[in-house]
């Protein structure tokens, strides 16, 4: 039993100062309903031990006529028999808040006294909140003994979690609480999230009950994960990092009726979705993750360095051990770049391997992919096993029929050793930008090649030199209608209850002009246009040339540094703080994206400044199993990844 409906509460007096375990400030926005001024609609919470998570938006009302600060956050309200609401823990966008109300404050129509720390006036709740029941606090053991501590989540892997569940060391509820506590402690500093899922603990409790009754639901049973906030969750706002898709930032909530297919698959495998992660507006930046919804995401290794984009929120959450792993998307480096900036395994799959239904598009017709970001190759492979494969939700995925290894990607690890394989090395036959390598990058790359050769592999320097590959790539044709088509298909799939189903409807609701020009063209299906035909012909030509080079040199794949130089600064020019060039020195992208090729990154070393050096295996279409196997062998040989030391 939870709280229902649209509470519209006004705080008329100052409440007691915050108490609770966290002083972090989250930028959390869950589905804010329309305000219902002057009334409350809160049903009575359970009187047995338990509680609920409450996501909210509030307006801090100043004494003058100036507009108040808009606050967003999450409350954890605990109930104890005979004591009512025993405590409120919460975090808000502009600072901590809290109170210790009696039960009458909660279930009556009297104001709920909440005041953000340091605010100048009473707080008015300007939009209603969602609430979900959560399990009660962990009880002490018999004889007054303390309950065992929550598990240590730092660098925790999927295999370790499943082994711990089998051994009864902790429950999914314990593990989820441990991750939420870590998020509460450090999120204010690193800003990985747009929203936390208020159902996470309730989902964990249901999974524990299911485990006791019939065993694990699937390979990700009870595994806390995160998803990028361009992937749909039913009933939750999908912001795509853009202020205009969130009422909390002055836009209109974009609320889908259904989960994205990849999210459905995660849930069906038993995963717990902790929250949705930050991304630059429309996933449109490959270096920094700065959004108009949630602000700036930081790199846990060095906060003055870029976190990578556009899946930087997922990368930071995974790198900081706010989750076991997560999903990102890529159109041009957006999985690889944050993986390189944060020493992660990133899988940019072959176009068509993973369904895109319910993912806000940049180029869904030809390029967009969804893939895992993880701290280990095996975790990435286990997640790819869950999200990959054909579905009628996205007919492009039927291209993968017969292309997925029998038994899956995780089972294939170790079956294709590096010994005897031949790899092409990066050179100026591949591209001009970010080459030659920066001196320190070149030194680390040479060491990486030494390790590769030490495993029995052979290498070929700059195999694309003299092939004309760069020249063919420069001739890539554009498809003007692609963006308008792909976005309209997405909007039309939001469901009948969505506030809008086209850019025109959004503009009518907001009175604003939608940013960008490409989406305003007629939304013709690209395959119905001559420009679309030209792109497909070009892609067939350059794929043939790519394969010709591999065959000419007897190559099994390519072995590149993911970046041609160290990770760039988060603020490129202190004299111009808003200057934000898209300058991650990526080497595989955007070439691999336009060809649809798979890439797997793996951390291999660290620069003198403490930021990571990450390599990338690149292969022909549908070679994910080989790339993962090679990356796994290199990972096990080097054990290079070192977790960051977080600061508050």
Nearest to 97 by CA among 127, 58, 64: 58
**530 within a domain of the structure (yes/no):** no
Q: Which of 66-75, 145-154, 487-496 has the lowest mean pLDDT?
A: 66-75
Residue pair 24/188 in contact by the 8 Å Cβ criterion:
yes
pLDDT for 39 beyond 50: no
More confident residue, 93 or 493: 493
The arithmetic mean of pLDDT across residues 343-372, rounded, is 98
pLDDT for residue 517: 60
More confident residue, 28 or 46: 28
| Residue 403 annotated in active site | no
**16 within a domain of the structure (yes/no):** yes
- In sequence order, the 6+-apart residues with CB closer than 8 A to the CB of 636 are none
Domain match, 267 and 400 both: yes
SS3 139: coil
Domain match, 132 and 177 both: no
pLDDT for residue 122: 33
DSSP 8-state secondary structure symbol assigned to residue 553 = T
Backbone angles phi, psi at 62, to 5 degrees: -80, 165
- The C-alpha torsion from 271 through 275 and 281 to 285, rounded to 10°, is -60
Of 25, 28, 119, 228, the catalytic one is: 228
Domain match, 281 and 362 both: yes
pLDDT for residue 521: 86
User: Which burial class, exposed, middle or buried, applies to 556 when counting CB atoms under 10 A from its CB (0-12, 13-18, 19+)?
Assistant: buried
| Residue 470 annotated in active site | no
Q: Are strands 458-460 and 422-425 parallel, antiparallel or unpaired?
A: parallel
Q: What is the pLDDT of residues 316-328, one digit of tens each?
A: 999 999 999 999 9
Domain match, 130 and 225 both: no
More confident residue, 142 or 266: 266
Domain match, 411 and 287 both: yes
Residue range(s) defining the domain that contains residue 110: 1-137
**585 within a domain of the structure (yes/no):** yes
Nearest to 375 by CA among 168, 161, 229, 231: 161
Q: Please give the model's pTM, rounded to 2 decimal places.
A: 0.82
pLDDT for 572 beyond 90: yes
For the chain, what percent of residues have pLDDT higher than 90? 76
pLDDT for 524 beyond 60: yes
- Tell me the CATH number at 226: 3.90.1300.10
For the chain, what percent of residues have pLDDT higher than 70? 77
Q: Which of 59-73, 521-535, 583-597 has the lowest mean pLDDT?
A: 59-73
Nearest to 504 by CA among 357, 529, 493, 492: 492
| Residue 64 annotated in active site | no
pLDDT for residue 17: 24
- Token duo for residue 156: 């925790």
User: Per this entry, what is the length of the chain?
Assistant: 648
**515 within a domain of the structure (yes/no):** no
pLDDT for residue 54: 53
Residue ending a domain, among 121, 137, 153, is 137
Measured between alpha carbons, how far is residue 646 from residues 89, 183, 190 in Å? 23, 11, 9
Domain match, 32 and 181 both: no
Nearest to 369 by CA among 352, 344, 386: 352
- Calpha distance 22→186 (Å, rounded): 9
- Place 520 in a pLDDT band, splitting at 50, 70 and 90: confident
Q: Which long-range contacts (CB under 8 A, 24 or more apart) does 83-87 make?
A: 85/45, 87/19, 87/20
The arithmetic mean of pLDDT across residues 75-101, rounded, is 40
Of 195, 310, 483, 629, the catalytic one is: 310
**431 within a domain of the structure (yes/no):** yes
pLDDT for residue 148: 78
Domain match, 125 and 188 both: no
Domain match, 189 and 128 both: no
**158 within a domain of the structure (yes/no):** no
- Token duo for residue 648: 């508050």
Domain match, 124 and 204 both: no
Of 291, 292, 334, 589, the catalytic one is: 334
Residue pair 298/316 in contact by the 8 Å Cβ criterion:
yes
| β-bridge partners, 231 | 359
Q: What is the pLDDT of residues 141-171, one digit of tens each?
A: 555 567 778 999 999 999 999 999 999 999 9
Domain match, 81 and 187 both: no
Q: What is the pLDDT of residues 417-455, one digit of tens each?
A: 999 999 999 999 999 999 999 999 999 999 999 999 999
Domain match, 273 and 403 both: yes
More confident residue, 142 or 222: 222
pLDDT for residue 84: 39
Q: What is the pLDDT of residues 392-415, one digit of tens each?
A: 999 999 999 999 999 999 999 999
- Three-state SS across 493-504? CCCCCCCCCCHH
Nearest to 456 by CA among 424, 496, 417: 417
DSSP string of 451-515? HHHHTT-EEES-TTTTTTHHHHHHTPPP-TTHHHHHHHHHHHTS-TTSS-SSHHHHHHHHSSPPS
- Mean pLDDT for all residues in the chain: 84
- Token duo for residue 605: 């070393």
Domain match, 71 and 209 both: no
Residue ending a domain, among 137, 163, 189, is 137
- Calpha distance 12→115 (Å, rounded): 10
**262 within a domain of the structure (yes/no):** yes
pLDDT for 93 beyond 70: no
Q: Tell me how many domains the chain contains.
A: 2
Angle 125-235-395 from CA coordinates, rounded to 5°: 155
**503 within a domain of the structure (yes/no):** no
């Amino acid at each position: 039993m939870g709280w229902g409906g649209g509470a519209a509460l006004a705080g008329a007096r100052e409440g007691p100062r915050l108490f609770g375990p966290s002083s972090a400030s989250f930028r959390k926005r869950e589905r804010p309903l329309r305000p219902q001024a002057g009334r409350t609609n809160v049903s009575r919470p359970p009187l047995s031990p338990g509680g609920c998570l409450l996501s909210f938006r509030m307006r801090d009302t100043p004494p003058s006529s100036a507009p108040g600060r808009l606050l967003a956050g999450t409350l954890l309200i605990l109930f104890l028999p005979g004591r009512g609401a025993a405590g409120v823990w919460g975090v808000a966008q502009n600072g901590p808040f809290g109170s210790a109300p009696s039960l009458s404050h909660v279930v009556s129509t009297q104001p709920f006294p909440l005041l953000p720390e340091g605010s100048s006036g009473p707080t008015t709740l300007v939009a209603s909140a969602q609430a979900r029941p959560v399990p009660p606090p962990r009880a002490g053991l018999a004889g007054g003994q303390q309950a065992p501590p929550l598990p240590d989540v730092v660098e925790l892997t999927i295999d370790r979690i499943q082994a711990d569940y089998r051994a009864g060391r902790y429950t999914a509820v314990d593990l989820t609480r441990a991750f939420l506590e870590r998020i509460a402690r450090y999120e204010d500093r690193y800003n990985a999230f747009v929203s936390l899922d208020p159902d996470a603990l309730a989902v964990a409790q249901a999974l524990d009950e299911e485990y006791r009754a019939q065993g694990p639901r699937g390979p990700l049973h009870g595994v806390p994960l995160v998803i990028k906030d361009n992937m749909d969750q039913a009933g939750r706002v999908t912001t795509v990092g853009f202020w205009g898709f969130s009422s909390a930032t002055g836009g209109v909530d974009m609320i889908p009726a259904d989960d994205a297919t990849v999210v459905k698959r995660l849930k069906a495998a038993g995963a717990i979705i902790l929250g949705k992660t930050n991304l630059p507006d429309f996933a449109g930046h490959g270096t920094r993750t700065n959004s108009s919804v949630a602000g700036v995401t930081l790199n846990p290794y060095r906060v003055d360095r870029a976190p990578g984009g556009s899946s930087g929120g997922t990368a930071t959450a995974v790198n900081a051990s706010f989750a076991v792993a997560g999903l990102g998307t890529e159109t041009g480096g957006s999985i690889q770049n944050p993986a390189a900036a944060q020493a992660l395994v990133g899988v940019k799959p072959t176009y068509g391997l993973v369904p895109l239904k319910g993912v806000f598009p940049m180029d869904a017709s030809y390029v967009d992919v969804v893939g895992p970001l993880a701290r280990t190759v095996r975790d990435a492979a286990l997640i790819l096993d869950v999200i990959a494969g054909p579905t009628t939700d996205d007919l492009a995925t039927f291209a993968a029929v017969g292309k997925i290894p029998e038994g899956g990607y995780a089972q294939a690890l170790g079956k294709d050793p590096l010994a005897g394989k031949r790899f092409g090395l990066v050179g100026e036959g591949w591209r001009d930008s970010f080459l030659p390598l920066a001196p320190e990058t070149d030194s680390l790359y040479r060491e990486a090649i030494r390790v590769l050769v030490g495993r029995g592999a052979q290498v070929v320097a700059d195999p694309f030199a003299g092939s004309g590959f760069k020249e063919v790539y420069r001739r890539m044709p554009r498809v003007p209608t692609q963006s308008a088509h792909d976005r309209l298909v997405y909007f039309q799939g939001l469901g009948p209850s969505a506030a809008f189903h086209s850019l025109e409807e959004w503009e009518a609701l907001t009175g604003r002009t939608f940013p960008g020009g490409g989406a305003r063209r007629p939304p013709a299906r690209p395959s119905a246009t001559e420009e679309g035909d030209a792109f497909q012909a070009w892609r067939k030509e350059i794929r043939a040339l790519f394969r010709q080079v591999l065959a000419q040199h007897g190559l099994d794949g390519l072995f590149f540094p993911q970046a041609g130089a160290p990770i760039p600064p988060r603020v490129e020019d202190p004299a111009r703080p808003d200057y934000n060039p898209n300058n991650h020195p990526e080497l595989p992208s955007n070439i691999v994206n336009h060809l649809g090729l798979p890439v797997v990154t793996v951390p291999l070393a660290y620069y003198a400044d403490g930021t990571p050096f990450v390599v990338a295996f690149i292969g022909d279409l549908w070679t994910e199993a080989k790339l993962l196997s090679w990356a796994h062998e290199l990972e096990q040989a080097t054990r290079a990844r070192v977790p960051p030391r977080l600061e508050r």
